[in-house]
Amino acid sequence: MHEFDDAVLKCFLDNQSQLFPEEDVASTMEEAESFLEECFAVVVNSVDEVWDYFEEEGIDMEGMEGDEILDADEVFDVGDGRYLIVEG
């Protein structure tokens, strides 16, 4: 089970529309935590770890290089060097 701290939960609450433009999937920190746990979201500590995750999960990254992977809808920049990855 993953522990999501307040910075991660706030990041997701503030930016969830990048992955779910139709409607918010969470409106409170508790709802955000439940949702992230349900969809097995992960927090990684670097761009390299984002790449590693995408490779391990077999997610198509064709044509992406370097920091471009951070533009993927599934990747949320927590703002402290960490990234939240949520598969919609």
35, burial (CB in 10 Å: exposed 0-12, middle 13-18, buried 19+): buried
Q: What is the pLDDT of residue 1?
A: 46
What pLDDT, in 10s, does the model give residues 36-47? 999 999 999 999
Nearest-angstrom CA–CA distance, 8 and 32: 9
Q: What is the pLDDT of residue 8?
A: 98
- Which 3 state secondary structure label does DSSP give 27? coil
58 bridge partner residues: none
pTM: 0.92
Task: Decide: 87 and 74 in contact? Cβ < 8 Å.
Answer: yes
Mean pLDDT for the stretch of residues 30-38: 96
> What's the pLDDT band for 3 if we cut at 50, 70, 90?
confident
Nearest-angstrom CA–CA distance, 35 and 55: 23
